[in-house]
Structure 1
């Protein structure tokens, strides 16, 4: 079942006001309800290459794999859906490709990338992420961060050594503890949630969240709830107005209709009233 008329998806990326090249990469497949965002790191355009490899690999893997998955199946070892396991496998494949590329050329040694992958299916979502790029959910008028940053400063916040305000002002706030492509293996966080009509989901690089706080993000989402393209433009504009010190990427997905799995008469009955 195509999700193109069930979920509105937009995305923009900008180099910011300081950097002369963009190390972020984004991609989406509205038919599959799939969004991918990556923020690369590494000298000699290594970050640009790492994020591009990650996004391309993940999109290709999932475009081939997701249509073969039967709805409602779970992995017996983890309890996660097969869709979530596919996201994990796609990131692992991207990790290996980036690592191999870094080992084959000394210019790219140590390159890596964050990644956020969001997939909608059967009135649910699966999320997989590594690093400090984030996913937020706007439900009603409440903004909620659904990812936990894989950074040193976040670990210190969790242990009570820093407040959130102090963490935002720290010079070490961008030291990531996990990244795709740095090592031969990578730890991936997975999350599954039920979606509701009206939910708006925001994927973003730290070029957004380092420049503007959650209160402003929430205000923008409330003010532009009925126009995702303008919301996208306003988020990037505000990040640049507040300094634009990094590349900034924003992707938005808004649920406008229910999308139960196509599994017979019950699904068709549900669609009539959604």
Structure 2
């Protein structure tokens, strides 16, 4: 399996700065997205620190370990990298007054052949589009999700709740954080959508699926997703990361190797 990666980010229509951050490393199959929170510009610092650290450190480990690394070893590497990123953000927040209280959500994926190791913290999400069906494959760490799970509110009530942005887990807020990780089997033709809540809060699943099912190029789909979030109000920063799985030959050409495909 080979993977194509594409990202788009936009501050939205109401905010001057963008506290989302996104990165990928095609040769190692690492994709990471974060939505920062905190005081003036602090959220931007937290998300940028987290994505840069995890992309670099996890990508380096995966390239060194190669495809020989099993799922358990990759999970362990993800946990270690996220732990170290958490400590870096937490330390910065407690060392510099202007960064006090900063933190970030996180969704990170490792795409290896026909396997996806997917981890997340907070309410940034990952969806899978397969056979014309869009499925959310992460569950938000949020007060709203806990209320839904407990049967205290209905999905219709959740859609208009004022508690949408209250996360119950975030990177950098405490000196430890728990990364929730699940393994998924990847099939040819799958498209994975990682996004900040600037998309998922603004746009319901059905319009997102309509964009995903078109024959447009991956970059155009990413642009359309950002555009529809802005068309629905653009009240927050909007970031999307699309990853498409395609069957690949074991004997790859020079161009493919250079591109990290």
Shorter-chain-normalised TM-score: which range? Answer: over 0.9
- 1:214 and 2:205 aligned: yes
Partner of 1:7: 3
CA RMSD of aligned residues (A): 1.6
**In 2, Cα distance between equivalents of 1:258 and 1:196:** 12
Q: How much does 1:67 deviate?
A: 1.8
Q: How much does 1:218 deviate?
A: 0.8
- 1:174 and 2:172 aligned: no
Partner of 2:151: 160
**In 2, Cα distance between equivalents of 1:211 and 1:151:** 17
**In 1, Cα distance between equivalents of 2:182 and 2:112:** 13
- 1:29 and 2:38 aligned: no
Change (3 A) 1:161 1:259: farther
Partner of 2:190: 199
TM-score (normalised: structure 2) = 0.92
Paired residues of 1:69 and 1:82 also in contact (CA < 8 A): no
What whole-Å deviation, never above 9, does each CA across 1:52-103 have from its counterpart, x for those lacking one?
A: 10011101111221122253554xxxxx521222122111111000000001
Paired residues of 2:30 and 2:59 also in contact (CA < 8 A): no
1:97-136 alignment to 2 at 5 Å?
A: 97-136=88-127
Aligned length: 251
- Choose from 51, 55, 75 the match for 1:55: 51
Gaps of 5+ in 2: 251-261
Once structures 1 and 2 are overlaid, which stretch shifts more, 100-109 or 174-183?
100-109
- 1:171 partner SS: coil
- Choose from 236, 245, 251 the match for 2:226: 236
Paired residues of 2:10 and 2:226 also in contact (CA < 8 A): yes
TM-score (normalised: structure 1) = 0.88
Partner of 2:257: none
Once structures 1 and 2 are overlaid, which stretch shifts more, 46-55 or 80-89?
80-89
